[in-house]
Amino acid sequence: MITPHLFIPGPTTIPDAVRIAMNLPMEDMRSPEFPKFTLPVFEDLKKVFKMKDGRVFIFPSSGTGAWESAIENTLAPGDKVLMSRFGQFSLLWVDMAERLGLKVELCDEEWGTGVPLEKYADILAKDKNHEIKAVFATHNETATGVSSDIAGVRKALDAAKHPALLFVDGVSSVGSLEMRMGEWGVDCCVSGSQKGFMLPTGLGILAVSQKALDVNKTVNGRMNRCFFSWEDMIKTNDLGYFPYTPATQLIRGLRASLDLILAEGIDNVVARHHRMASGVRAAVDAWGLKLCAKEPKWHSDTVSAIFVPEGIDANAVLKTAYYRYNTSLGTGLNKVAGKVFRIGHLGAVDEFMIGGVLFAVEMTLKDVGVNIKLGSGTGAAAEYFSKTATKSATSATPAQAKAA
């Protein structure tokens, strides 16, 4: 049987070079040779985040573990934080903050929009006593296909001369979208292995600024922590080891993934993702359908959440695509369950792969009763890709770039 074509917004397709790199015998994670492997991985991860200082932690967890680590190592119960909620994953981040005892000042936004910069700026300007200790921003809301302006959040903090830490959820953005952690003054940026890093789920990746590391040493009334302690990680990471058994095979895969990303060039990776997403959006327009993202400024270059017409169940789209055309699409979550289906277009994707998923979606929509013309969306995407082929910085996947 042919493996189902995977176009969910994570886990993403694993390039052969990454998969092969993980197919090795178990190794001694305490050997004297191990640091020669791990220390360059830490340094190369910094290049993907575009950090100016600080360090990167790799936890054997999902991105949720990295979320928890960021909070537990820099904040104390009762600390006030500024957050916004506009999709399932920003919702879960708020839930975690509240369950860990933080006092959340919440901006509850319409799903399909993103971080409310004007509200953030107003709240920060009024916080003269600097009661807010951290500002949280979800860079890419996977549930609704919405990206937010992190540089704009930094501008709001700087305009208010506010010292709060800036936390960014970059789980479905790092390694795919523009991330300038140093330039934007991001203090904790959370990611995971299963999205832009093109690996199986299992690594929580947390990039931390020097400012956040300094806060970790001085925070009063700190939270209890053990597994996600930075102190324990620092002591062993500096020597090339971990405080507990690391996911060695996943880190071997991460090494291969970093090689592919850096060979293509991170700016080229970002340009490729924008081009692939633009092709998908051209198809959606040609079908006469609407994105969940309310305006072009919110458009995500890693995932498109697409509304089905009134009277159509998005779950029927998912089942038909899976059983009839062997294609996995992303489901709608929470408020948009049954209303949207999602196309993930991140990781190792190129025009041919995007054309394939659009072909399957087009037939699926026709089958479930959506009034579209076969060839309309795929044709629009093909026309866009053809016109932009020579203008794009690159159209190669990481694997193709490595081969070149």
DSSP 315-366: HHHHHHHHHHH-EEEEEP-GGGTTTEEEEE--SS--HHHHHHHHHHHHHHHH
Average of per-residue pLDDT across 324-333: 97
Q: Which CATH class is domain 5-9+266-403?
A: alpha beta
Enter the DSSP assignment of 2.
P
Model confidence pLDDT, tens digit, residues 260-319: 999 999 999 999 999 999 999 999 999 999 999 999 999 999 999 999 999 999 999 999
Report how far apart, in Å, the C-alpha atoms of 190 and of each of 128, 249, 262, 366 are.
28, 21, 20, 39
Task: List the 188-192 sheet strands across, edge first.
Answer: 55-59, 204-208, 188-192, 165-169, 132-138, 80-85, 103-108
Residue 201 CA to residue 179 CA, distance in Å, equals 21
Residue 52 CA to residue 181 CA, distance in Å, equals 8
Average of per-residue pLDDT across 46-53: 96
Q: What are phi and psi of 312, to 5 degrees?
A: -105, 135
Per-residue confidence at 390, pLDDT binned at 50, 70, 90? low
Task: Please classify residue 55 by burial: count the beta carbons closer than 10 Å to its beta carbon, then call 0-12 exposed, 13-18 middle and 19+ buried.
Answer: buried
Per-residue confidence at 391, pLDDT binned at 50, 70, 90? low
Region of residue 101 (left: phi > 0; alpha: psi -120 to 50; beta: else): left
Indicate if 16-262 has the same CATH topology as 5-9+266-403: no
Residue 230 CA to residue 57 CA, distance in Å, equals 8
Residue 203 CA to residue 157 CA, distance in Å, equals 30
Report how far apart, in Å, the C-alpha atoms of 344 and of each of 24, 222, 261, 353 are.
29, 38, 18, 11
Judged against a pLDDT cut of 80, whether residue 404 lies above it is answered with no
Judged against a pLDDT cut of 80, whether residue 168 lies above it is answered with yes
pTM as predicted? 0.94
Q: For the chain, what is the mean pLDDT?
A: 95
Residue 83 CA to residue 93 CA, distance in Å, equals 9
Q: What CATH topology corresponds to 16-262?
A: Aspartate Aminotransferase; domain 2 (3.40.640)
* Predicted local distance difference test score (pLDDT) of residue 393: 45
Contacts of 352 (CB under 8 A, 6+ apart): none
Judged against a pLDDT cut of 70, whether residue 35 lies above it is answered with yes
SS3 236: helix
Please state the domain extents for the chain: 5-9+266-403, 16-262
